[in-house]
Amino acid sequence: MEQLIRQNRSYRRFYQDHFLAVDNLKYFVNLARLSPSARNAQPLKYYISNDEPVNAKIFECLSWAGYLKDWDGPEEGERPSAYIVVTGDHRVGDNFYCDHGIAAQSILLGAVEKGFGGCIIASVDRQKLREHLQLEQQLEILLVVALGKPKESVMLDNIGKDGDIKYWRDDKRIHHVPKRQLDDIVINFS
Amino acid sequence: MEQLIRQNRSYRRFYQDHFLAVDNLKYFVNLARLSPSARNAQPLKYYISNDEPVNAKIFECLSWAGYLKDWDGPEEGERPSAYIVVTGDHRVGDNFYCDHGIAAQSILLGAVEKGFGGCIIASVDRQKLREHLQLEQQLEILLVVALGKPKESVMLDNIGKDGDIKYWRDDKRIHHVPKRQLDDIVINFS
């Protein structure tokens, strides 16, 4: 698990031509399906796409890497080859708790195990995406998981003394992510 | 991953005497630490316990298995041998998004891989738990992950035609969990 979780970085540049089959996407959704759900309500529904024109429409609705001010997101050729849009069905209930977090982590770990990678994106033009995908009103867009064959290196760094958690890219385009240390997040043991 | 995720059921009865070391708990928290966090803010802090008197105080604050009306939770001898209390630190931010879902899934998958198991509990007397653990006011209790060596069998069933998602126990005390099928949760493919 530790190896898989370490490999599971938020990748934002991909080999866009690397195909991701619908069966792969269904396999990932199945992992989410088998994951815990608050009160076992299972309110989540998933829209999947590995289709270039649909992907382009989804891409249009996403904001990428807020801390990288001089980067608008992956350029053509480095975009995700697939997406899983995670929605919450209000016919089931109005509180989705943290089900979408559980589901997204299962999806990403499955993707990494199969040699892919992805990124959870919550900064989404939900109105536009709903129209593009013709989603029913009862389905609330919770987040989008972008998927593909990663084309970038992501390094975990220790957080600096200034406590800055903003990720950044070095001149070799390696993406650096400052992480708090274990002693800083365990309250009662050091 | 699929095998691990299938094994990762919500266990609510344990071999209470089966010891879970602090190093194990730290290993699980480390998996959460290395997992995605919205905007990389990493607002979560963790209180861990494998200590019987503290465990008893935590147990007192939990409500178990809402759908099992004739069961008040595990009896003495079948209670969790450890807990990870997941809190959100308001000094970091006031929105924890679904970070605690991501973290809890990483913790549970790590636990299952090591031969343990657990249950995410969100029905918590937060006021009382805060007092018991003497948590700072800035730390909001988000959920409690109960952990131990599972002592029960959990079966995944297909959801019936009535759509009932309530889990139940049969007369052999096997815990049954009705799950929606893949075709019912993938919006645009069947």
- pLDDT number for residue A65: 87
ipTM score of the complex?
Answer: 0.97
Residue A168: its pLDDT value, please?
A: 96
Q: Inform me whether the pLDDT recorded for A19 exceeds 80.
A: yes
Beta carbons of B1 and A113 less than 8 Å apart: yes
Nearest by CB to B48, which of A30, A165, A186? A186
The closest CB to that of B35, out of A5, A48, A166, belongs to A5
A62 vs chain B: nearest CA distance in angstroms?
14
The residue of chain B nearest to residue A66, with distances taken between CA atoms, is: B39
Q: Measured between alpha carbons, how far is A24 from B25 in angstroms, rounded to an integer?
A: 33
Q: What is the pTM of this model?
A: 0.97
DSSP-assigned letters across all residues of B92-108:
T-S--TTHHHHHHHHHH
- Cα end-to-end distance, chain B, whole Å: 23
Give residue A39's identity as a one-letter amino acid code.
Answer: R
Give me the percent of chain B exceeding a pLDDT of 90. 96
Q: How far apart are CA B178 and CA B190, in angstroms?
A: 20
B137 touches chain A (CB under 8 A): no
Q: Does A134 touch chain B (CB under 8 A)?
A: no
Decide if A121 touches B, using CB distance below 8 A: no
Q: Does A67 touch chain B (CB under 8 A)?
A: yes
CB contact (8 A) between residue A180 and residue B1: no
Q: Are A133 and A85 within 8 A, CB to CB?
A: yes
Distance of residue A24 Cα from the nearest chain B Cα, in angstroms = 12
CA dihedral defined by B97, A38, A145, A51, rounded to 10 degrees?
-150
pLDDT computed for residue A189 by the predictor: 82
Q: How confident is the model at residue B80 (pLDDT cuts 50, 70, 90)?
A: very high
Tell me if B99 and A101 make a contact (CB, 8 A cut-off): yes
The per-residue pLDDT for range A20-71, each reduced to its tens digit, is: 999 999 999 999 999 999 999 999 999 999 999 999 999 999 999 889 999 9
For residue A120, give the nearest of B26, B36, B167 by CB distance. Answer: B36
Is the minimum CB–CB distance between A7 and chain B shorter than 8 Å? no
Whether residue B189 has pLDDT greater than 90: no
* A130-139, B64-73, B174-183, range with the lowest pLDDT: B64-73
The per-residue pLDDT for A117 is 98
Length of chain B: 190
Chain A: residue nearest B167 by CA? A40
